Each structure stands twice: as C-alpha cells, then as structure tokens.
Amino acid sequence: MLDLKEGGFFLINKPYTWTSFQVVKKMKYILTKHFSEKKFKIGHAGTLDPLATGLLIICVGKYTKKIEEFQGLRKEYTGTFRLGATTLSYDREHAENQTFPISHINETLLRQTAKAFIGPQKQVPPVYSALRIDGKRAYSYAKQGLEPEMKEKDIEIYDFDITEVNMPEAAFRIACSKGTYIRSVARDFGLELNSGAYLSSLCRTKIGDYCLQDALSLEDFEEMFPHKKD
C-alpha cells in the first residue's frame, strides 16, 4: 500500500494529446480522493509532448527527490518521420509550411544517414518548446512571431535505426541521452537528406531499465486507488 509521505513511483502510459502536467494533475486528484489528503508531493520525471505517447515516471512523496536521477537515465523511443516536408514545431502540432523533393531518397540512404547521427553532438532545441529564455517559455515567444536564440545543447544518440520505410514515412527507433529532442532529430535528419522531415508520431518505450510494457494506464491507476466514500 502506498504511503503518501514515504511515497513511491509509478510507470504510466501517457495518453495521446495529454500533457505530462495533465497526467500528474489527474493522478493527484485520484490519490487525493483515495487518501482524503491534499498535501503531498507529486511530479513527473521527464516531459512528453502532448502528441507523443508512452512512458512517464511519476514520483510521489519522498520519491520526488529522485526525479533528477530518473531524468538522467537513457531514453528509448519509436516513431515515424514524415519526409519531404517541414512544420514550424517540427511535428504535427502545426501544418506543413514547406515541401521538398524526396525522389532521391531510398532505404539505403535513410539507414546510412541514421547511422551518421550516432554519437555525442550539439543539438538546437525547437523554438516551440518549454525551455525557459529570460524567464519565459520559448513557445510563448514563437506564438508572438518572435525568434528567440535557441542555444545548442550537448546530447548523445546511442542507437538510431530505421525500422520500416513506406514513403513518405520512415519508422525509427532511437536511444538517446537526457535532453534530446526527437523533433529536432527529425528536422536535422531531413536537412541531412537534402530534403525536409518532421515528427509524425512518437512513443517513449524505455527510461533506463523501466519499460513501457510494465506501465499502467490512467484507468488502471484509478482502479488501484478507488475513491473512498465519505
């Protein structure tokens, strides 16, 4: 049985279109109703974009002190790139704003290009992101039509495989370090192909040794902690 003060952590499968904050808010509501307790700590160990699904680690009570430790773990993702086009957000949140030729792209080129991304590198985060610049979220500048300077970050890609090709879509699996934006990988991948690309789907499958297959749905979580009658 969970002790709210001592705490623990849960593996949760984030639903499509939900923000990570919405998942935390929902879980806090469920625990509040079950334990009749409002004052306890809860937080997630690494954001997923609303259009992504997959593994979130949610920490409760004293385990919130381990959030930074969880955040530092290696991450793994699967998903698809849409080749031959770009969007402002590097994913499907925005409509396509440019198109590019893809007739020169084949499976061999895709796999060779993916392998070239493996290793330590600098990455420019998307302007449509929650990174803070002078106290404001980067996306708040972007929504005003401004272009804040996005500083390069040190990241590392450990594995990058193209798992299926069905033009203009290419499916992938990526293992990477903390702070890696797969949307930025999509943008850079398109550039390396002398074309364009954006992220059309994304699922986080692993955080360290923790796997999506062991995660709970929010419905499962609610069944574990049903509302107690007054």
Dump the DSSP string for 40-96: --EEESS---TT-EEEEEEEEGGGGGGHHHHHTS-EEEEEEEEETEEETTSBTTS-E
151, pLDDT greater than 90: no
Q: What mean pLDDT do residues 82-87 have? A: 98
For 90-137, what is each residue's pLDDT tens digit? Answer: 999 999 999 999 999 999 999 999 999 999 999 998 887 667 777 777
Is 49 marked active-site?
yes
**SS3 track for 158-189:** EEEEEEEEECCEEEEEEEECCCCCHHHHHHHH
For 182-192, what is each residue's pLDDT tens digit? Answer: 999 999 999 99
Domains 8-72+210-224 and 75-207 share a fold: yes
Q: d(Cα 18, Cα 20) in Å, to the nearest integer?
A: 6
pTM: 0.93
Is the domain spanning 75-207 CATH 3.30.2350.10? The answer is yes
Mean pLDDT rounded to a whole number for the chain: 93
For 169-184, what is each residue's pLDDT tens digit? Answer: 999 999 999 999 999 9
- Domain residue limits, the chain: 8-72+210-224, 75-207
Write down the architecture of domain 8-72+210-224 according to CATH: 2-Layer Sandwich (3.30)
- From the candidates 3, 49, 134, 220, which is the catalytic residue? 49
Going by pLDDT thresholds of 50, 70 and 90, the confidence category of residue 146 is low
